[in-house]
Amino acid sequence: GAVVSQHPSRVICKSGTSVKIECRSLDFQATTMFWYRQFPKQSLMLMATSNEGSKATYEQGVEKDKFLINHASLTLSTLTVTSAHPEDSSFYICSAASGGYNEQFFGPGTRLTVL
Amino acid sequence: QQPVQSPQAVILREGEDAVINCSSSKALYSVHWYRQKHGEAPVFLMILLKGGEQKGHEKISASFNEKKQQSSLYLTASQLSYSGTYFCGTERAWSGNTPLVFGKGTRLSVIA
């Protein structure tokens, strides 16, 4: 299957700082990538759809000014959590679709802990 | 609308079989199955498209009944490596790259 990488895999930061998470499709071009958040023992909740060259589409309840998404190229999308707070601590996962049937391949995830 | 998965959790001994169901109240175009191990990202298992097909590889297979808007994942002769949380993700229509809506997951534990 297609390979998607994420960086960093784990980050611990102080409250009020900003954190950038990168999502890369390594062996295919992804015009669309998706950002999910997963709290412990819960399902994946879609945060936003990232479109190359255009603005991201955010799900209801997700603050676009807090979770900045940039999809600068066909292989890279970034999620910046601005002014992070402890309640933003979570597992953030990106995915990219490859192939004609919308198979989605997930990155390894980034565990964010805000102190 | 989030699909409903059942059961929420199941414990199996090695070699036993299990069925995980995924139901939707809306018509579906496709159902995707993933397995996630603790602390890791979900791993794609298979996709089933509208048309009532059945797919599988090795001892894991799945079916999709579009009339019932339901998909089932079949795990036969389970192995320890099958442990994890299984999620179904659904699409209501094909329109290019669209996000999936995931169920709450079924936690499967296989014990020796």
Mean pLDDT within B11-38: 93
Q: Are B96 and B78 in contact (CB under 8 A)?
A: no
Q: What percent of chain B has a predicted confidence (pLDDT) above 70? A: 88
For chain B, give the mean pLDDT. Answer: 89
Residue of B40, B44, B88 best to disrupt the A interface, most CBs of A under 10 A = B44
Q: Does the pLDDT of residue A31 top 90, yes or no?
A: no
Residues B38, B41, B46, B48, CA torsion sign: positive
- Spatial separation of the C-alpha atoms in residues B66 and B27, rounded to whole Å: 7
- Spatial separation of the C-alpha atoms in residues A115 and A94, rounded to whole Å: 23
Q: Does the pLDDT of residue B53 top 70, yes or no?
A: no
- Phi, psi (degrees; rounded to nearest 5) at A76: -140, 130
Determine the pLDDT at residue A1.
65
Q: Does the beta-carbon distance from B44 to A103 stay under 8 Å?
A: yes
Mean pLDDT within A8-14: 96
Mean pLDDT within B2-25: 96
- Phi, psi (degrees; rounded to nearest 5) at B80: -55, -35
- The shortest CB-CB distance from B41 to any of A30, A42, A93 is to A93
Determine the pLDDT at residue A98.
66
Instruction: Of A9-18, A91-100, B18-27, B103-112, give the lowest mean pLDDT range.
Output: A91-100
Q: Does the pLDDT of residue B59 top 60, yes or no?
A: yes
Determine the pLDDT at residue A114.
96
B84-103 burial code (b ≥16 CB/10 A, e <16): bbbbbbbbeeeeebbbbbbb
Q: How many CB pairs under 8 A join A and B?
A: 55
Is residue B92 classed as helix, strand or coil in its secondary structure?
coil
| Amino acid code (one letter) for B53 | E
- The shortest CB-CB distance from A108 to any of B40, B96, B98 is to B40
pLDDT tens digits, A44-100 = 999 999 888 888 999 999 999 999 999 888 899 999 999 999 999 999 999 987 656
- Spatial separation of the C-alpha atoms in residues B105 and B108, rounded to whole Å: 9
Within chain A, what is the greatest distance between any pair of CA atoms?
42
Higher pLDDT, B107 or B28: B107
pLDDT band at B92; cut points 50, 70, 90:
confident
